[in-house]
Structure 1
Amino acid sequence: MTTTLPASVELLGRALDYTRARLNDVHGGLLDRPTPCGDWRLGDLLVHMEDSLDAFTEAAGGRVEVHLTHTTEGRVAAIEEKACALLGAWSRPGPGDVLVGGLDLASAVLVATAALEITAHGWDVAEATTPAPVPSDLAAALLPVAHLTVSQADRGVRFGPALPVPDEAPADVRLLAFLGRA
């Protein structure tokens, strides 16, 4: 995958647009619904999404700290606000590479990885509320990111095993299958 930071920021914007639309279907009565993420309920997924947005936004400053939250009140509004902050943070001149847990990551790859995670979790939210496919052009742009950033070591931890699909399957089906989602 070869990309520039502006191209990754544009991809991030598209991922955030897709996910924001999925979040419109979330309300308090749905927080106990199961998601495609193992034993996670929708409320758990929203907590994770908020934490991820914090981390990716902090990365725009050059370093990521770990913050844990355990409540679901106001989650969707907080996620939408943090999504805007994330896009804004990466739209400004960035720090160059970013230190994440001692690893030095290229900013363009980090932002593209954020787009991948945000899209995957947007799809997870949709599956728990109102199913909506990942747009083909977004999925096609994220496939090389997934192949670059999801390793065998991530399987069973962050992602399920890759699922078999025909090469001619649509991009969204291939992306989700690679991420262990059916």
Structure 2
Amino acid sequence: MTGPPADAPELLERALGYAAGSLALVRPALLSRPTPCAGWDLRALLRHLDDSLLALIEATAAGRVAAPGPAEDTIDPAGTLRERARILIGRCAAGDGPDLVAVGDRQLTARAVAVTGALEIAVHGWDIARACGADRPLPPSFALRLLSVSPFLVDDADRPLRFAPPLPVPDGGAPGSRLLAFLGRDPVAA
């Protein structure tokens, strides 16, 4: 890959749609359940995803991403996230955001921000489903596309801070399983 993929906005839209399906599974009684992210419960994961969606909304509107503010609890965290996803999907569809985004002291292309967001949102959508006790595999063609860009987005410097070490996958594993294992998640663990 010589630069961020041209289909980055479409990947972000697909990730948001996939995650919205997982968010529909969230119930208040499940918020304290563990997730595939070590040490996180579903409530913490939803807060983290809220920060990510707010950053993407800010990036698409203002061309910058500020440091996240304090996390806020909402009565319906999944509903809040679905609304933020709806806003972001609308912005992706409009395609009229800034070309460059300031993230800290760096300038990134909007496509780089979008593909990074797509990877994070899709995988956290899977995490949410697992925490809710559901098996929602990532669609194979979508997972394969994300798998193709993930080595450019996640490297050894990201481990173990943001991602666990990669896990082995049997030969011929589904694209979703390979993507999850690359990001340190056990695709068959409940």
Task: Pick the TM interval, shorter chain.
Answer: over 0.9
The alpha carbon displacement at 1:88 in A equals 2.0
2:144 corresponds to 1:140: yes
* TM-score, normalised relative to structure 2: 0.90
Say if 2:74 and 2:80, in contact at 8 Å, map to a contact too. no
Secondary structure of the 1:168 match is coil
| Root-mean-square deviation over aligned CA pairs | 1.3
Q: Which position in structure 1 is the counterpart of 2:75?
A: 73
Gaps of 5+ in 1: none
Query: For residues 89 and 167 of structure 1, what CA distance do their matches in structure 2 show?
Result: 39
* TM-score, normalised relative to structure 1: 0.93
Q: Which position in structure 1 is the counterpart of 2:123?
A: 120
Q: Which position in structure 2 is the counterpart of 1:62?
A: 63
Tell me the matched-pair count: 180
Gaps of 5+ in 2: none
Query: For residues 107 and 172 of structure 2, what CA distance do their matches in structure 1 show?
Result: 36
The alpha carbon displacement at 1:145 in A equals 2.2
Secondary structure of the 1:133 match is coil
Say if 1:35 and 1:128, in contact at 8 Å, map to a contact too. yes
Q: Which position in structure 1 is the counterpart of 2:167?
A: 163
Say if 2:123 and 2:180, in contact at 8 Å, map to a contact too. yes
2:92 corresponds to 1:92: no
Give me the identity figure in percent: 44
| Residues 133-167 of structure 1: per-residue CA shift (max 9 Å, x gap) | 11101101101221111011111111100112245
Distance 1:118 1:23, change over 3 A: same
